[in-house]
Structure 1
Amino acid sequence: MPKSKRSKLVSLTKVAKKTKEQKGALMQEVQANADKWSYCWLFEVGNMRNSHLKTVRKLWKDSARLFFGRGAVMAKALGTSPEEEHKEGLHKLAQQIKGQVGLMFTNSPPSEVIAWFADFHPPDFARSGNISPQTYTLPSGPVLQHHSNPPEPFPHNEEPQLRKLGLHTTMVRGVPTLDVPHVVCKEGKTLTPEQAQLLKLIGIKLVEFKVGLRAYWESASGEVTQVEGEDVEPDADGEKDGEEDEGEDEDMD
């Protein structure tokens, strides 16, 4: 029988798995960079956003090499035991590779790296499942969108969406308006999908993308030094950034 020409549903979430050859190539890249650079850093990402991680890569393009992907492959490349480690001391770093972490190879001194990442924490929109760091209330009056400066009122055709997200608005001179203040979220409470969507629609960024430095390996001595850095908030409910799949082995160069 001829093949059916009917439309078929294809899941856009499916991602081709890395082949053994690709994983082997990634391992070789990690090991080559361990041979090339003076330091190897282990870092953790909070409120993961591909756009911000790409900014880090761009700003460090000439002075570092970043890898971010499946931890098991990176750990195997470094070697998780003294017998398997690629270079002396690397197994101490490899044993700490757990969760959403990455590696950064660089010649920059530790003090410079720590200071740079302490100052890099761009704001972003919270997602469903995030814990709200503050209480945010919309005042009575026209509902404003904060994507511009100064903020502008929402157009009339946005009112159905605002009402769908929980706002009790009325139209005043063609502008969605609140008669009384509306509490969008409360400090310490988990954000619902509707709250997160409303905050993004309004243009309010409540979370920050952060890179938490956990430890670094020094090639000259083979020593691994722990870094007492700021805790980072994991991505909400295991959500992934929509631009690309972070779950696969990603060479961020």
Structure 2
Amino acid sequence: MPRSQRNQKVSLTKTSKKGRELKQGIVSEVRKCVDEYPSVYVFSFVNLRSKLLKEVRLDFREDSRFFMGKNKVMILALGKSEQDEYQDNLRQVSKRLKGQVGLLFTRRPAEEVKTYFKALAVADHAPPGFVHDETIPLPTGSLGDWPVSMMEQFRKLGVVVEVEEGVLVNRKAINMCTAGEPISPEGAKLLALYDKKIATFTMSLLCRWSEGEFEALAEGTDDAMVTE
């Protein structure tokens, strides 16, 4: 029988009253989900954007709950050791709460959850700072079927552009991104203008806990960015 520690007090004395109340609320919500949902997963993510996460949340809205962004507080709620874990083996879940990760509480069957995340891969525009493995140039010549009114916008993005016979023309070849180097804000905007989706959004399951039983699904997490 899984052990419950519902009445265990959590110390948050190092935070302000407002912050303490917020953190205590998260602790309470996480523990409530432990009690209400039969399974909890830790997931990592790569190239996460708000709109993409929203779509995943919508897919799981009927039977699941997500928590992200407060690793230390979630660890506090679940417990770090055998002595303070909220339920048996939740300390194993806490060990995976490092870096860019989150919690998924769900009533869905395990195989259905695993299949969903294994297939999840969405091409998207790269944010500034993203490192691509290929160089994508913006050569000299016509910039494409853009209105002349776009000239100033292109210039602000570092393009040496002129109008020639009613067409925007690039006078100096540049790279929108260079292999192995972080993409600049200007480069990211240029790639988006040309609809170059070079980033792939993925979410990977690291472990599963269900009624006191723990299952490791993967090791480690990936670096990622969260952007609007």
TM-score of the two chains, using structure 2 as the length reference? 0.82
Residue 18 to residue 211, structure 1, CA distance change in 2 (3 Å): farther
Alignment of 1:223 with 2:213, yes or no, is: yes
Q: Which residue of 1 aligns with 2:131?
A: 131
* 1:12 alignment counterpart: none
1:165 partner amino acid? L
For 1:53-85, what per-residue CA distance to the aligned partner results, in whole angstroms no more than 9, with x for missing partners? 111111100121111121111111111111111
Aligned to 2:175: 183
CA distance in 2, matches of 1:36, 1:82: 21
Partner of 1:148: none
Q: Secondary structure of the residue that 2:192 maps to in structure 1?
A: helix
Unpaired segments of 5 or more residues in structure 1? Answer: 1-15, 145-152, 243-253
Structure 1 residues 142-184: Cα deviation after superposition (integer angstroms, max 9, x where no partner): 323xxxxxxxx22112112213323233323322123686532
| Aligned mates of 1:101, 1:230 — CA distance in 2 | 10
Percent identity of the aligned residues? 31
Q: Would the alpha carbon gap of residues 200 and 67 (structure 1) be closer, same or farther in structure 2, given more than 3 Å must change?
A: same
Gaps of 5+ in 2: 1-15
Aligned match of 1:37: 37
Q: Secondary structure at the match of 2:48?
A: coil
Moved more, 44-53 or 178-187: 178-187
Determine which of 137, 154, 162 is the counterpart of 1:162.
Answer: 154
1:1-253 pair list within 5 angstroms: 19-138=19-138, 141-144=141-144, 153-178=145-170, 182-219=174-211, 222-228=212-218, 232-235=222-225, 240-242=226-228
How big is the shift at 1:203?
A: 2.6
How big is each residue's C-alpha offset from its partner over 1:27-68, in whole Å with a ceiling of 9 and x where there is no partner?
Answer: 111111111222110011222211111111111001211111
Q: Is the 8 A contact 1:212 1:229 kept in 2?
A: no
CA distance in 1, matches of 2:219, 2:81: 25
Contact 1:114 1:213 (C-alpha < 8 Å) held by counterparts:
yes
Which shifted more, 116-125 or 81-90? 116-125
* Matched pairs, number: 213
Shift of 1:21: 2.0
Deviations 1:128-149 (A, max 9, x none): 22101332234554323xxxxx
* Contact 2:43 2:204 (8 Å CA) reproduced: yes
Q: Deviations over 1:164-213 (max 9, x none)?
A: 32323332332212368653223322212221222123332211222121
* Alignment partner, residue 6 of structure 2: none
Q: From the superposition, tell whether residues 230 and 72 of structure 1 become closer, same or farther in structure 2 (CA, over 3 Å).
A: closer
